[in-house]
Amino acid sequence: MIITEAALGALIARAFERHGMTPHNAAIVAGVVAAAERDGAASHGLLRLDGYIATLNSGWVNGEAVPVVTQPAPAILAVDACNGFAQVALAAAREQAIATARREGLAAICIHDSHHFAALWPDVEPFAERGLIAIAMVNARSRIVIWGGKRKVLGTNPMAFACPRSDGPPVVWDQASSLRAQGEVLKARVEGHAVSEGVGLDAEGVPTTDPAKILDGGSLLPFGAHKGAGIAFMVEVLAAAMTGGRFGFQDDSPKFPGAQTSRAGQFLLLIDPSRGPGGDAPSRIAVLVAMLREAGSDRLPGDERCHRRARAVEDGIAIPDATYAKLCKLAGE
Ligand code: NDP
């Protein structure tokens, strides 16, 4: 099935509305899922649809949440997501945060009581498209073992970075603190293949490449051993301790059978480079990128997504017929 991003987003939104989301909230979250399919970020596209629906059905997340935005300090915005999706909370704060960053040079967005079930690049890329540097971090329920620990405390705690450049689209990277995101391990299980060594441990703490053993009671490992562990710790501090969100180990989703999201926090830092001492940062970033390309870096983070996006805009998004049929059913079509 070939479908446009707009048509896919509308269909996903109808499915979400039929499972308890307001049209406003459904459109925002559906937009993120459709964008992931458009960019070929399969681990956070339609693969997650069942998880969203099961979570909504479980009552764990509030699909009708109306976020509350306050500004407790000149450069800090606090957003109570009211147990709704993080993307809805971010949308509520977006324009105020951009205005703050332009006025103060910086803006921190502290979102708490939120659910983030998606990739993070859709959170940061739009800020860089408007000339800002953006960093985003999300904490999640306990999934990784770090610093020689015996059990999971931190989540896969992703972070993303986006910066504008004068001669092309923003440079955006987006990665989990674990060697592989949980979504990638999930995808490997669905596709029936092993993951690489170093990705995770089984329930007994023994290294395994079997995605099922990692997902069923096992754990993930941080990227770069103790160094990635430090990043995961920082994300937990900023996204939970700083925002007022729950730590990953405070998860009580098991009380809501079917719930798959983490009720946690998100931290974003926006920087207006034009207010800094570095001069014309987007032009300087273009010079840096050109030097990297000249040095042989022919794939920068985000390049592959951008290529896939360009193809999808031209040719439409290809989704398997069975997935399309399931989506239509969920949307009541
Ligand atoms: P990857 O390891 O696949 O990619 C990490 C980054 O590196 C991406 O920006 C990617 O760019 C880039 N990249 C990958 N391969 C190369 C290469 N060969 N050369 C240059 N750059 C490269 O991501 P993860 O598995 O760590 O995470 C996948 C997704 O899972 C992320 O989007 C993350 O936000 C999400 N996630 C969400 C969570 C949540 O709670 N919501 C929890 C954990 C993860 P490109 O995009 O172009 O491939």
Confidence (pLDDT) at 43: 86
Report how far residue 299's alpha carbon sits from residue 173's, in angstroms, rounded to the nearest whole number: 12
Residue found under tokens 């096992």: 218
- Shortest-distance Cα residue to atom 23 of ligand 1: 175
Catalytic residues: 43-44, 184
Confidence (pLDDT) at 6: 97
Domains of the chain: 1-58+302-333 (1.10.1530.10), 69-178+222-300 (3.30.1370.60)
Q: How far is the CA of 174 from the centre of ligand 1 (A)?
A: 5
Confidence (pLDDT) at 275: 95
Confidence (pLDDT) at 184: 87
Confidence (pLDDT) at 196: 95
Q: For residue range 61-107, list pLDDT tens digits in order.
A: 999 999 999 999 999 999 999 999 999 999 999 999 999 999 999 99
Helices (H), the chain: 5-17, 23-38, 49-58, 86-104, 121-129, 182-191, 211-215, 226-236, 281-294, 303-315, 321-330
Q: How far is the CA of 37 from the centre of ligand 1 (A)?
A: 15
Q: Which parts of the chain have pLDDT scores under 50?
A: none
Spell out the residues 6+ positions from residue 294 whose beta carbon is closer than 8 angstroms to its own.
Answer: none
Atom of ligand 1 nearest to the CA of 305: 47
Confidence (pLDDT) at 183: 82
User: Which residues are 266's β-sheet partners?
Assistant: 111, 138
- Shortest-distance Cα residue to atom 47 of ligand 1: 302
Confidence (pLDDT) at 150: 83
Q: Which residues line ligand 1 (CB under 6 A)?
A: 43-44, 116-121, 138, 140, 156, 158, 173-176, 180-181, 183-184, 299, 301-305
Among 137, 163, 175, name the best residue to mutate to test ligand 1's pocket (greatest count of ligand atoms within 8 A of Cβ).
175
Q: Please, are residues 276 and 7 in contact by the beta-carbon 8 Å criterion? A: no
Confidence (pLDDT) at 31: 98
Q: How far is the CA of 137 from the centre of ligand 1 (A)?
A: 13
User: Which residues are 270's β-sheet partners?
Assistant: 107, 134
Report how far residue 77's alpha carbon sits from residue 68's, in angstroms, rounded to the nearest whole number: 10
- Shortest-distance Cα residue to atom 4 of ligand 1: 175
